[in-house]
Amino acid sequence: MNVERKKYCVNGEWHLSKTDKYMPVTDSSTGEMIAEVPCCTAEEVESAIASAQEAFPAWSKLSLSQRTQMMFKWRNILIEHLEELTLLCAKELGKTLAEARGDVLKAIEPTEHACSLPTLMQGDASLQVTTGFDTATYRMPLGVVAGIVPFNFPAMIPWGWMVPLAIASGNTVVLKASSATPLTAMRILELFYEEGGFPKGVVNLVTCSRKEADIFLTDSRVKAVTFVGTTGVGKQIYSTAAANGKRVQAQCEAKNHALVLEDADLESAASAIINSTYGCAGMRCMALPVIVVQESIADTFVALLKEKAMAMKVGCAYDPETNLGPVVSAEHKTKVCDWIQKGIDEGAELVLDGRNVTVPGFEKGFFVGPTIFDHVKPGMTIGDREIFGPVTLIKRVKNFEEGLALMNENPFANGSVIFTQNGYYAREFEFRTDGGMVGINVGIPVPSAYFPFSGNKDSFFGDLHVLGKDGVRFYTRAKTVTKHWYDETARKKKKEVDTWEGTVERI
């Protein structure tokens, strides 16, 4: 079987790398390698930065209306290629077709948001701040910005979170695509130049190891870095890039909790949790892996979750009937299965075991079935650390206060959810939870692109979050201008008077 060697993109052109090291890209449903991508050299990464820097002056000088019109056109191109990109995403990552389509749609939504940049980039102004003086603040682009992309959202994160607001506000971009799932991002970049007609160098793309990606953190030409990935790496990126004077958004791990109270609509809550926990095979930072259940309904609720989980069809990602596709790689499957074993070793009760799932015709795929643990106690690492797989963990509590306290003890605070019909508890939860994105009877509390993706604690490092007004502020800097104009006519008359008076005095 011939496997295509992919190229990296600099200045709108695709280049073969000088490296002899390539990284495999697999079809997660079959286990077969479908492409390989280069581990770009430091010189090649630097050439991408140079390309973005060279493109910046002309791109940033385009009018807001010109850039906006290009974004409108770009949005339509993405919609035209929705199904093509959906299938590519499903193959390389393992998302079901519905989930992969959602990934692409979540790249389109911020693109639509970016079309409103003429309004979002408006500054502030005041006349006559002091006599004869006016002051205005403008939003200016930064220059070259870098995006370091994870594997789990190959369309949404690079082409939704990173590119639209950055380029619409006048910046140029270098993407470090995920080496595990780069194909969707690469295909979108092909469309960006071939059909979008964007100037060369506005967006550049490399695949490389962490060592080469670290160049973004120290190169003075890079003004800002957006990172999505693990907390350990995020902390290192934040500290290094900030120490080098760069802006940083580091969106990191999560261990989202949902609190289910005894007055909740259990059927609706269970359906929402199943969708949230097992959607994308659990490989998303807004999954709900931990369910904190009030003891009085715990047995009933766990049985309901198990029933719904067992009804899911595990299968090939691009089979329309599939509810739960594979995880991204053989290595990731091993990692998830190791976590399941660790849960057993720590003494949690295994209610449903998904380790030995096989799919006829796809025996080499990276499948892990729905897994449920009950009686997860404080101190068990499976209840505290991100597994990033289709594993549900049940923690039992006596009441609302105990549940909220347990949730807030976790070092991660990306999102949190409560299921209840009690308005008082819902409001208390909204006010007191540490979660940055909060759901009230909502299983996946991800806001639209008009609002920030606002994680807290060890789930985020930085001052301005991705998307929303935060995203616009992150990719722009303030310039405050104070103006004063002289009245030439008045000055001339004053000069004439001064001259006449001087003459009289001399006489």
**pLDDT (0 to 100) of residue 506:** 45
In this structure, which topology does domain 257-410+415-440 adopt according to CATH? Answer: Aldehyde Dehydrogenase; Chain A, domain 2 (3.40.309)
**pLDDT (0 to 100) of residue 411:** 96
Q: Measuring CA to CA, which residue among 292, 234, 284, 228 is closest to residue 258?
A: 292
The pairing of strands 290-294 and 257-260 is: parallel
Q: Which two tokens stand for residue 11?
A: 């200045």
Q: 505 falls in which pLDDT band (50, 70, 90)?
A: low
- The active-site residue, picked from 115, 285, 316, 337, is 285
| 460 contacts 414 by C-beta, under 8 angstroms | yes
**pLDDT (0 to 100) of residue 1:** 58
| 464 contacts 480 by C-beta, under 8 angstroms | no
Cβ of 324: how many Cβ atoms within 10 Å? 26
- What are 23-82's pLDDT values in tens digits? 999 999 999 999 999 999 999 999 999 999 999 999 999 999 999 999 999 999 999 999
CB-count exposure of residue 41 (10 Å: 0-12, 13-18, 19+): middle
- Mean per-residue pLDDT over the chain, rounded: 96
Active site residue 39: no
**How far is 336 from 386, CA to CA, in rounded Å?**
10
- What are 305-335's pLDDT values in tens digits? 999 999 999 999 999 999 999 999 999 999 9
Q: 497 falls in which pLDDT band (50, 70, 90)?
A: low
Residue 502 has pLDDT above 60, yes or no: no
Q: Which two tokens stand for residue 362?
A: 């796809």
Q: Measuring CA to CA, which residue among 62, 77, 144 is closest to residue 107?
A: 77
**How far is 73 from 109, CA to CA, in rounded Å?**
14
Top CATH class of 9-22+36-253+455-480 equals alpha beta
Q: For the chain, how big is the Rg over CA atoms in Å?
A: 27
Domain spans of the chain? 9-22+36-253+455-480, 257-410+415-440
Alpha-carbon dihedral 383, 389, 390, 391, rounded to 10 degrees: -20
Can you tell me the mean pLDDT for 438-460? Answer: 96
Q: Which two tokens stand for residue 196?
A: 């979008």
Helix, strand, coil share of the chain (percent; to 5): 40, 20, 35
Residue with tokens 């509390």: 445
Q: Which two tokens stand for residue 436?
A: 């940055």
Half-sphere exposure of 50 (CA within 13 A, CB side): 6
**How far is 244 from 222, CA to CA, in rounded Å?**
10
**pLDDT (0 to 100) of residue 489:** 76
Residue 498 has pLDDT above 80, yes or no: no
| 433 contacts 408 by C-beta, under 8 angstroms | yes
Cβ of 46: how many Cβ atoms within 10 Å? 18
How far, in whole angstroms, is CA 180 from its chain's centroid?
A: 16
Q: Which of 16-30, 231-245, 486-500 has the lowest mean pLDDT?
A: 486-500
Residue 421 has pLDDT above 70, yes or no: yes
The DSSP call for residue 266 is: H
| 107 contacts 160 by C-beta, under 8 angstroms | yes
